[in-house]
Structure 1
Amino acid sequence: MKFVLSILTGVLLWLAWPTLPLTPLIFIGLTPLFYLTERVQNRWQYFGLIFLAFLTWNVGSTWWVGNTTVPASGVFANCFNALLMSIPWLGYKNTRRKLPESAAYFALIVYWLTFELIHQTWELSWPWLVLGNAFALRPGWIQWYEFTGASGGTLWVLTANIAVYHTWKQLRLHGAAGITHIVKSLLAPLAVILLPLLLSAFIHPIPDNPARKTGIVIVQPNIDPYDEKFNSGTAMQQLEKFLRLTQQQADSNTRYIIWPETALFPRGAWESQLNYQQEVIAIREMLRKYPKARLITGGVTMKEYPAGEAPATARDLEGDRKWDAFNSALQIDTSNSIQIYHKYELVPGVELIPYVRYLTFMQYVAMDMGGISGSYGRTPDATLLTNTSDSIKVFPTICYESVFSNYVGAQVKTGADLLVIITNDGWWGNTEGHRQHLQYARIRAIETRRWVARSANTGISAVVDPAGNISHPQPYWQEAVIKATVTPRKDITFYVKNGDLISKGAVIFCILLLVYSFMSRFIPGLKHAEIHQ
């Protein structure tokens, strides 16, 4: 029975996850774990059941991370993430022995929110399964994310599960003492679930300014990342495809042309010599036909550092010279100026060896997913791509970065009017990976109330409006080109202005709970009588 409940938790969470349509199951998915917490006394058995539940969820929802040339990476990722998810529940189990039930529920919320925040900020980050992401398919339910961010959704999920379980427990213990008692008992979970839905119905983004409508062209080239993208000698052939597709839809009203991640220089190009690259010369020749347009594209770039100025990620060149490789976004126009943004939120194990500054011998262990193997460099601060003639600032989110609520919100706060996502989701094939990734863009749009233009190498390229509605989605594994309009916006949401207040508050309470737990071991007066279950 206990084993079944553990598996049931993972299955419910998987069925509730995008892009499956059973989202409401998220409100009961965790309830079996509350039952197990009360019934299982052996700590190792409890840990095993909790770990199994989260492993089932991870494997069901993100098994595709192992759909690469190194399948073992997916096994490790799912197991490690399940292990981390178990920690807040172990803390909850321990807290139940020391504090009343209601305080223990509060502690679980605090522990989980703290875990999710840490999982967005450290170098082993994997925020793909943030509980608040469960509603990506239902933007109409979460318009209030402009105040709370995705952590508000996490709070909603946890609170709803607690309310549902507590109500079930009370009805089970005291029996059904008439229909009136049943109705009263159900009011709490219904209110927790329905009130945010009703609130969302009354929240709408500020209307766009029609005068700022901006024409864009998004290219989806459909270049196989394994057999074609990074092969030597094919770069110019790929460029010809990009140019051909672009010119199918670009016109005098086009302000931005958007190509996907690593569209240029798949084998790398020195940043000091970009103006002399054949690709850049050809692009500028095309842009002369559309003088008001800027091209935003991905590319692999390299930078050499003077002696003594290289960061920990830098590699040896010769002598005292060092260099770094970057997964970059570039903005190219007809001038000699190229604006460059270096991807900051790197994929652990693929683009980044976590804490390589302490493990320098691991520098080249990162998986070779084409291009330049080994850890990419990281810039300390993001750079917005500016267009002074139209007073537009773009934040070019590269692939995995679009999953980070706090990071994207922080860049919008610095002045981004428009979000662009450039990605290459073809690594994981025709799995839920690229579909989930598209849906998460809806959450970023709602949190920031920004238009999102998404260019994916193999799909799904699309446009997302500030209310989270998707338009112009292109079929996966087909070349395509989108002609659309977006509206750069200046308004700032409460979430963007103030950041993730819910998670910040949770961290404070988490610290206080940990201090209390530590002190209670040495000061008898602080220790609550143990609750026997």
Structure 2
Amino acid sequence: MSLVTGLLLALAWPARGIPLFAFIAFIPLLFVESELYKNKDANKSVSFFLYAWGAFFVWNLLTTYWIMFATLPGMITAVVLNSFFMAIPWWLMHVSRRLFPKNQGVFPVLFFWLSFEYLHTKWDLSWNWLDLGNVFASWPNWIQWYEYTGTAGGAIWVLLFNIILFQLIKELWLHRLLTKKVAWYSFFAVGTFVVPLAFSLHIYANFVEKSDPVEVVVVQPSFDPYQSPQTMEEAIERTKTMIALAAPLITDSTQFVVAPEAILPEGLWRGNEARNRHVLLLQDFMMRNPHINWVTGALVYQLYGTGTAEIPYTARPLEAYGYYFDTFNAAVMFDKDGRFSYYYKSMLVPGIERMPFFRVLRPLGQLVDAMGGTSGSLGTQDTRGVFTHSQTQNVVGPVICYESIYGDFMSGFVRNGATMIFVLTEDGWWRRTPGHRQHHEYARLRAIEFRRPVVRAAGTGISSFIDQKGEVQQRTQWWETTAIVGVVNQNSELTYFARFGNVAGRGSVFFSGLLLLAMLSARIMRKKTSLQA
């Protein structure tokens, strides 16, 4: 029965799922837990952990199998580990019920789950693609209050309704009568579903963007990410293609041209920008259109000489010359006069862009290399840097690919002054699977959380303009070589979520910590009692 939970969650998931399934998805797992708790003397708590792990394994596999097109070992690792981590909050709830038999509620799973999602963003194995609140990404009119709660609010909504509905079904099953408890559970179930929905629809109907227009051109060249240019001429041709796509759409009002992640051929060395032939081509184009700034993804390299005071731990040696260099997955903005701004992607993909726990495991690097893994790490930066247009002073938050699924992380761009968000991504690694559609839909959540327009430039996925309500105003098709132009209204006001981040997650960590201490104390007292007996 627990596997039904995984199937229902998969059926609920964006971009083509129906999120209503999420409101009943956990009921089968709760019934399994209830049966195991009734027979707790015959079943160890690990039994429920295995049931929960199986449920979440099915969910992870059915919704993220597409990772295999980029890396099969990575997909297996992500599915197995992430489902394992998801089972832990449910197991802790089950253990707490065993330790406190007079308090048999399952509500602690709310705190444990929110703590898991929050803490899962804070370490090197972070993979929050399936945060429960993401389930509503394609239905933005249902969750306009994410500007206060972030996706944690969606997780609370789903889990709380599942728990109340489970209690209602169980009460009806046991007594088969309309008892007072049934009436109360029915009242709370209806209220839990209707009140958040009505509040969201009210916000949606009354929210009006303030007019502060910025015209942006997005380039989607659709170069195959698995096919790098083989000659200098081919590399130059790619840059010319991007210019040719953008040129017909440029008007006197255009402020930015946005190109996808890592799309600048051959990369870019810091300090050597003026000699880069692709930069020179783009600057020549901007000389004819002096009012635009070009924003692009690029692999950027930084050289460290022997006199560098502190060489980052991510730097690699150029042993023949005695130098070190760092590689960054970067967003770069520049204008016709050669003014450059850089932002380095800082939420890196585990196993692809960084070796997890690299500082500790660095000595194992050669072994990992030999096994086909990633033994190093790209460089990062500590702050969420923003780009300021050289003429209009409009401020952009340049978000790179994987970073866009982390709302709390992205709040740093907004607090640093970003009035709009540009997401630079390359989703062609996963081929034509749900991966690129899910990734696109998650950007709609960020628009709501921060009330910022999101401009999405995808190499081969879906490029789009998303307004502050999370509605897609314009989009491209998969693997379409094109460019689009749109006008977005920037916004400088800070939402509650932008100011304070994931309050529910942090609060849940605190309460979960208290509950774990109480559980540990109860466990110790129980052992003492059994020894005395």
User: Smaller-chain TM-score range?
Assistant: over 0.9
How far apart in 2 are the matches of 1:373 and 1:299?
21
Moved more, 248-257 or 144-153: 248-257
* Residue 241 (structure 2) pairs with residue 241 (structure 1): yes
Which residue is 1:71 aligned to?
72
> Would the alpha carbon gap of residues 335 and 104 (structure 1) be closer, same or farther in structure 2, given more than 3 Å must change?
farther
RMSD: 2.3
Q: Say whether the 8 Å CA contact 2:384–2:413 is kept in structure 1.
A: yes
- CA-to-partner distance for each residue in 1:99-133, whole Å, 9 max, x for gaps? 36767433211111111011112111111000000
Structure 1 segment 328-339 matched on structure 2, within 5 A: 328-339=330-341
Q: CA deviation at 1:248?
A: 2.0
Query: How far is the alpha carbon of 1:42 from its aligned partner?
Result: 3.0
Aligned pair partner of 2:503 in 501, 504, 508: 501
Say if 2:353 is the partner of 1:351. yes
Aligned partners of 2:111 and 2:511 also within 8 Å = yes
Q: Which deviates further from its counterpart, 311-320 or 408-417?
A: 311-320
CA contact (8 A) 2:99 2:523 kept: no
Structure 1 residues 130-149: aligned runs within 5 Å: 130-149=131-150
* Aligned position for 1:445: 447
Check 1:20–1:254 CA distance in 2 against 1; reply closer, same or farther (3 A cut).
same
CA contact (8 A) 1:445 1:464 kept: yes
Q: 1:301 aligned to 2:300? A: yes
Identify unmatched segments of 5+ residues in structure 2: 37-42
Aligned to 1:109: 110
Q: Cα distance 1:328–1:357, how it changes in 2: closer, same or farther (>3 A)?
A: same
**2:4 aligned residue (5, 8, 23):** 8
- Contact residue 434 and residue 459 of structure 1 kept, 8 A: yes
Q: Which AA in structure 2 matches 1:82?
A: S
The answer for the alignment partner of 1:530 in structure 2 is none
Q: Distance between the aligned counterparts of 1:165 and 1:414, measured in 2? A: 44
Tell me which amino acid in the other structure corresponds to 2:292.
A
Task: Confirm or deny: 8 A CA contact 2:269 2:302 kept in the other structure.
Answer: yes
Q: Alpha-carbon deviation of 1:140? A: 0.4
Select the residue among 360, 363, 367 that pairs with 1:361.
363
Does the CA-based 8 Å contact 1:351-1:367 persist in structure 2?
no
- In structure 2, distance between residues paired with 1:339 and 1:195: 45
- Whether the 8 Å CA contact 2:399–2:423 is kept in 1: the answer is yes
Equivalent position SS for 1:203: helix
* More deviation, 180-189/277-286: 180-189
What is the letter of the counterpart of residue 38 of structure 1?
S
1:34 aligns with 30
1:501, 1:470 → 2: CA distance? 28
Q: Mark the CA change 1:47 to 1:209 in structure 2 (over 3 Å): closer, same or farther.
A: closer
Deviation at 1:299, TM superposition (A): 0.3
Identity of aligned residues (%): 33
Q: 1:461, 1:309 → 2: CA distance?
A: 39
List per-residue Cα deviations over 1:315-349 (Å, max 9, x = no partner).
11236532110000000101121101000001001
Confirm or deny that 1:95 pairs with 2:128: no
| Counterpart position of 1:19 | 15
2:416 corresponding residue in structure 1: 414
Q: CA deviation at 1:511?
A: 1.1
Deviations 1:49-69 (A, max 9, x none): 11111000001111101112x
User: Deviation at 1:257?
Assistant: 0.3
- Which SS does the other structure have where 2:99 is aligned? coil
**SS across alignment from 2:484:** strand
- Indicate conservation of the 8 Å contact 2:107/2:163, yes or no: no
Residue by residue over 1:4-34, the C-alpha shift from the partner in whole angstroms, topping out at 9 and shown as x without a partner, is x121111000000102232101011111111
Give the superposition deviation at 1:390.
1.6
Which amino acid counterpart does residue 19 of structure 1 have in structure 2?
A
Indicate the SS of the match to 1:335. coil
C-alpha distance in structure 2 between counterparts of 1:430 and 1:235, whole Å: 25
In structure 2, relative to structure 1, the CA distance for the partners of 1:223 and 1:114 (3 Å cut) is: same
Deviation at 1:375, TM superposition (A): 2.3
Partner of 2:159: 158
Which residue of 2 is the match for residue 531 of structure 1? none
Q: What SS is found at the alignment partner of 1:129?
A: coil
Name the TM-score, length of structure 1 as normaliser.
Answer: 0.92
Contact 2:132 2:154 in 1 (8 A): yes
Contact 1:352–1:366 (8 Å) recurs in 2: no
Q: 1:382 is aligned with what amino acid? A: R
Whole-Å Cα distance in 2 between the matches of residues 379 and 317 of structure 1? Answer: 22
- Going from structure 1 to structure 2, the CA distance change for 1:425 and 1:359 (only over 3 Å counts) comes to same
- Look up the equivalent residue of 2:302 and give its one-letter code: K
Distance (Å, rounded) in 1 between the aligned partners of 2:348 and 2:229: 19
Q: Distance in 1 between matches of 2:119 and 2:369?
A: 22
Aligned partner of residue 354 in structure 1, secondary structure: coil
Q: How far does residue 479 in structure 1 lie from its aligned partner after superposition?
A: 0.6
The 3 A distance-change label for structure 1 pair 517 and 45 is closer
Determine the C-alpha separation between the residues in 1 that align with 2:335 and 2:370.
Answer: 34
Residue type of the partner of 1:239?
Answer: T
Taking the aligned partners of 2:395 and 2:92, their CA distance within structure 1 comes to: 44
Confirm or deny: 8 A CA contact 2:333 2:342 kept in the other structure: yes
Using a 3 Å threshold, how does the CA distance of structure 1 residues 152 and 231 change in structure 2: closer, same or farther? farther
C-alpha displacement of 1:208: 3.2
8 Å Cα contact 1:351-1:366 kept in structure 2: no
- Give the match for residue 121 of structure 1: 122
Question: What residue identity is the alignment partner of 2:301?
Answer: M
* C-alpha distance after superposition, 1:183-233 (max 9, x if no partner): 6542221211111000101214753333x2111100110101112x35454
Closer, same or farther: CA 218–320 of 1 in aligned 2, 3 Å: same
The answer for the alignment partner of 1:287 in structure 2 is: 286
Q: How many residues align?
A: 516
* Match in the other structure for 2:516: 514
- In the TM superposition, residue 515 of structure 1 has moved relative to its aligned partner by 1.5
Over 3 Å counting, the alpha-carbon distance change for 1:168 and 1:113 in structure 2 is same
Which residue in the other structure is 2:40 paired with?
none
How big is the shift at 1:526? Answer: 12
Once the 2 structures are TM-superposed, how far is the Cα of residue 72 of structure 1 from its aligned partner? 2.1
Q: In the aligned structure 1, how far is the partner of 2:210 from the partner of 2:280?
A: 35
In the alignment, the residues of structure 2 paired with residue 150 and residue 102 of structure 1 have an alpha-carbon distance, to the nearest angstrom, of 29
Aligned partner of 1:197 in structure 2 is 197
Q: Give, in angstroms, the shift of residue 47 of structure 1.
A: 2.2
Instruction: Give the counterpart letter for 2:188 in structure 1.
Output: A
Q: Structure 1: state its 5+ residue gaps.
A: 528-533
Offset, 1:517: 1.7
Match of 1:315 in 2: 316
TM-score, normalising length from structure 2?
A: 0.92
In 1, the alpha carbon distance for the partners of 2:482 and 2:195 equals: 41
CA contact (8 A) 2:5 2:26 kept: yes
Matched-pair contact (CA < 8 Å) for 1:520–1:526: no
Shift of 1:430: 0.3
Aligned position for 2:471? 469
C-alpha contact 1:218 1:259 (8 A) present in aligned 2: yes
Contact 1:139 1:467 in 2 (8 A): yes
